[in-house]
Structure 1
Amino acid sequence: MTTLEQKLAFDRIIERVEKARLRVDGHHIVKIVAASKYVDAEAIRSLYAIGQRAFGENKVQDLMSKSEALEELPIEWHFIGTLQKNKINHLLSVRPHLLHSIDSVELAHALNERLERNDMTLRALIQVNSAYEESKSGFLPEEISENYARIREECPRLHLQGIMSIGAHVDDPKTVRKSFETTRRIFESLPNATTCSMGMSGDFELAIECGSNLVRLGSILFPKP
């Protein structure tokens, strides 16, 4: 794909985001995080060159290696995968802009301890399993209010920004919409929450219509040759 073709494809995706946003209210801004887990540093560099600034990785090792390879670019790095406690030090060495996936109180405490030790803070989202799927990590909807408040109180080095969820893994749009609407209702109930991260390449328009203000787009931004 030439640079011009990539730019035109990128513009079409932005247009789809804007149309979905306008179908809701036209007021809220939607941030795009490019999920770059399946591409190399040069593919990230190419997308950066046409205007994309936020990139998300699922594995700490990949985040470290790609951020090092692209250290001359002021990329806004996000960690969007499941974080293992033994990878916390490596993650913090990158100083990511946002961690999307706190899925337990234990992980929050481990992060806070390491942040305290390093005199650091970290923006983070709590992961919600809105679809009640066993294959997904995160708190169940009825657990969020109590645990969000608990983490805010007990882990001051974590600056909670809101929540993240993955849409129901089914073909029925109504079921997917229900999982997104559940996430949105939770988001609106949380004090000072600003980020509702939901929606990926296959369902981002529906997620935006349901109130998402951050989408994580991978395959649609990095199509296979």
Structure 2
Amino acid sequence: MLTKQLAVENLDKLIERVEAARLQVSHHHIVKIIAISKYSLSEEVATLYGAGQRAYGENKVQDLKEKMEKLEELPLEWHFVGRLQKNKINNLIDLNPTLVQSIDSLDLAIEFNKKLAAKNKKINALLQINSAYEESKAGVMPEEAIETYKKIIDTCANINLKGVMSIGAHVADEDIIKKSFETTKKIFDELAPLGAKYCSMGMSGDFELAISCGSNMIRVGSSLFK
């Protein structure tokens, strides 16, 4: 169980590392930390909130619902970061997360938009890119990302696209991981004139590398909760 002292220590250590990495990029480069709480208890989220962390991410709609309900007294910012099944879209819309980071196809965006329109709601989202070209990962292929992003803007009025998200290559070779991050960042830069604000890349094992490649939003779990 995460104690208050451990939560403070973990957050301080993480912020120190994030600061060092972002300052290597630029003094003006800001990085937002999303604490991934999928393997943690609501009580641990409350403890980490007490240490100063505000934004959290869950990868299952049911888990997000449970934590949001248990912690509704706290002014938390919730992100959905998992693979979204179409039959769970309505449930997710009802929860109204701050950001849905995992729109991984035009097909999903169209279905999402349809259900948002029916409920007369809008949602902020990121387009997920499979920049590592790995079959195990969801997301649009880099070659199709810009066209898909534009199509979602043009055809899905109820989705506010705010940028892109990707997961670094699942390999030991740092050069390959770096290349996957650079691929996403290049796409993000091309989408900036269309209002792309967030380049969400980097997890507990590779966030410093992701920040060096231009990430401005990281998703870390074990660094904070263990």
Per mean C-alpha deviation after superposition, the further-off stretch among 211-220 and 7-16 is: 7-16
Partner of 2:208: 205
Contact 2:4 2:48 in 1 (8 A): no
Quick one: which amino acid aligns to residue 112 of structure 1? N
Q: Give the match's secondary structure for 1:142.
A: helix
- Looking at structure 2, the residues matched to 2 and 73 of structure 1 have their Cα atoms a distance apart, in angstroms, of 18
Partner of 2:130: 129
Contact 2:10 2:223 in 1 (8 A): no
Within the alignment, does 1:177 sit opposite 2:178 as a pair? yes
Structure 2 gap ranges (5+): none
Give the alignment of 1:24-43 within 5 angstroms: 24-43=25-44
Quick one: which amino acid aligns to residue 204 of structure 2? S
Give the alignment of 1:1-225 within 5 angstroms: 2-190=3-191, 191-223=194-226
Quick one: which amino acid aligns to residue 210 of structure 2? A
Structure 1 gap ranges (5+): none
- Looking at structure 2, the residues matched to 124 and 6 of structure 1 have their Cα atoms a distance apart, in angstroms, of 29
How many residues matched?
Answer: 223
Quick one: which amino acid aligns to residue 106 of structure 2? V
Q: Give the match's secondary structure for 1:131.
A: coil
Quick one: which amino acid aligns to residue 212 of structure 1? S
Q: Give the match's secondary structure for 1:137.
A: coil
Quick one: which amino acid aligns to residue 8 of structure 2? K
- Looking at structure 1, the residues matched to 150 and 84 of structure 2 have their Cα atoms a distance apart, in angstroms, of 21
- Looking at structure 1, the residues matched to 62 and 4 of structure 2 have their Cα atoms a distance apart, in angstroms, of 29
Q: Give the match's secondary structure for 1:89.
A: helix
User: Structure 1 segments of 4 or more deviating over 2 A?
Assistant: none
The Cα of 1:8 is off from its aligned counterpart by 2.2
- Looking at structure 2, the residues matched to 104 and 86 of structure 1 have their Cα atoms a distance apart, in angstroms, of 15
- Looking at structure 1, the residues matched to 84 and 10 of structure 2 have their Cα atoms a distance apart, in angstroms, of 32
Q: RMSD across aligned C-alpha pairs, in angstroms?
A: 0.8
Q: Identity rate of aligned residues, in percent?
A: 57
Contact 2:125 2:161 in 1 (8 A): yes
C-alpha offsets along residues 155-209 of structure 1, whole Å, 9 cap, x if unaligned? 0100000000000000011110000011100000012110000000000000001
- Looking at structure 1, the residues matched to 204 and 63 of structure 2 have their Cα atoms a distance apart, in angstroms, of 21
- Looking at structure 2, the residues matched to 122 and 8 of structure 1 have their Cα atoms a distance apart, in angstroms, of 34
Quick one: which amino acid aligns to residue 168 of structure 2? G
